[in-house]
Amino acid sequence: MVGRVTSPRPERIVIEGCAVATVDGAGREYERGHLVVEGGRIVAVGPGPAAEPDEAVSVRRVDGAGCLATPGLVNTHHHLYQWVTRGLAQQADLFGWLTELYPVWARIGEEDVSAAVGAGLGWLALSGCTTTTDHHYVFPAGAGDLFAAEVAEAGRVGLRFHPVRGSMDLGSSAGGLPPDHLVEDTDAALAATADAIDRFSDPAPDAMVRVAVGPCSPFSASERLMRDAAALARDRGVRLHTHLAETVDEEEYCRATHGCAPAEYAERLGWLGDDVWLAHGVHLDADAIGRIAATGTSLAHCPSSNARLGAGIAPVRDLLDAGASVGLGVDGAASQEAGQMVAEVRQALLLARLRGGPTALTAREALALATRGGARCLGRSDEIGSLEVGKCADVALWRIDGLGHADIADPVAALVLGAPPPVELLLVGGRPVVEGGRLTTVDEQDLLLRARRAAGRLRAATP
């Protein structure tokens, strides 16, 4: 088992004088409150100053004046390897974008993935993210141990990590979209997925790494891979993740190939349930929304990527009203080059209102998508996603007293509707990962140089 962060943390951290949005079930907020962290957990949260400790412990006091404390943001869908292939296929839809990028991704190796993951995770941390998934489904022959490389990089940066061992076994000769040389043998993919779970997944309540199972999509994974992967995940007690109902092209592919819509196909294969979270869900009719909600399936909403590829706007309000759990996802950096988790909160609100009008989503509902909603997607509602006593101390402290935010009286509105604010302090399990808008665990310049070299190598190797 690897992946636990071992950097030291103060015995007790007391944050005082800040606005606090707990994002708990009651929506408790404090205009001027406090938060106390000890042993990697939240031990107190409330209005006014913190109580003085009874016993002699080392205390780090943080002056939160001018700041807003929220739960750390939870990113429920990403493809971190894409960080080093940004800016390509700028006017393509999903299928065209994939077709253009598959040849580039076929050349990635262990060093490239390590560099891309480091840069992507560092950038996520600087945008307030404390927990992230990564759906990695490209494993070129001879590329090295790509999954281990990304888990190791997450340990360096210090974010809570939910890597999804993805897979593709349906090449173009069998009716799929990926080229044949980029897909895996079905049995080999399943064996590698089981190995990833055995090597890296940690069921502990404060786990830094949990592995999920994720054949890529209906147009790149066979029915057998989808069924057997679901059985494997449930046998090992881990979660399932895949893309679904992202584009009209996918809808047409599923109807032509499987005789039904994507959500019906997923249900037929055992891919709806309370241990499943799906990415995108842009093209869902009322029946599909009902199926998703009734089965306890969660959805990762990726507003910026869907807009970048012209895929459409997911029916988030309808999903929420039906009782479905919805989180937010940055998605792959090659279809969402900005890669900022906090920016997705604003984007989710704006797109929901474009679809459903000015009351379709409030600022607090948008923040809840990125926190409590994300925790539900990952099956960690009891551990992360809100600022409550006993939960993991994953905290974002946002500075909102600068020129861009200071005149917005409502601190949550300042965070969601204003420009992305700087992160004054980011704690993951009580360990500082960002302080004063800078990473504390890794060197940002090193992340930049490694990613730049990897991107250069891939560009040079691509015809």
Q: State pLDDT tens for residues 413-431.
A: 999 999 999 999 999 999 9
Strands, DSSP E only, in 72-144? Answer: 73-75, 129-136
Residue 300: per-residue pLDDT: 98
Average of per-residue pLDDT values in the chain: 96
| Maximum Cα interatomic distance, the chain, rounded to a whole number of Å | 70
Residue 427: per-residue pLDDT: 98
R_g (Cα) of the chain, nearest Å: 21
Share of the chain above pLDDT 70, in %: 97
Confidence of residue 298 (pLDDT cuts 50, 70, 90): very high
Q: With a threshold of 0.95, does the pTM exceed it?
A: yes
Give yes or no for a contact between 182 and 171, defined as CB atoms under 8 angstroms apart. yes
pLDDT at position 55 over 80: no
Could you say which DSSP state residue 105 is in? H
DSSP for 219-266 reads TTS-HHHHHHHHHHHHHHT--EEEEES--HHHHHHHHHHHSS-HHHHH
Residue 10: per-residue pLDDT: 60
Burial code (b: 16+ CB inside 10 Å, e: under 16) for 349-358 equals bbbbbebeee
**Mean of pLDDT values over 390-411:** 96
Query: Which CATH code is given to the segment(s) 12-71+383-439?
Result: 2.30.40.10
Tell me the H-state helices in 328-387: 341-356, 363-368, 374-377
Structure tokens at 134: 């990564």
Tell me the CATH architecture of domain 73-377.
Alpha-Beta Barrel (3.20)
Nearest residue to 282 via CA among 257, 261, 255, 256: 261
Count of other CB atoms within 10 angstroms of residue 172? 16
Domain with CATH 3.20.20.140 in the chain: 73-377
Q: For the chain, first and last CA: distance in Å?
A: 39
How many angstroms separate the CA atoms of 229 and 186, rounded? 10
pLDDT at position 295 over 50: yes
How many angstroms separate the CA atoms of 282 and 306, rounded? 8
Domain with CATH 2.30.40.10 in the chain: 12-71+383-439
Give pLDDT tens digits for 428-448: 999 999 999 999 999 999 999
**Mean of pLDDT values over 180-193:** 98
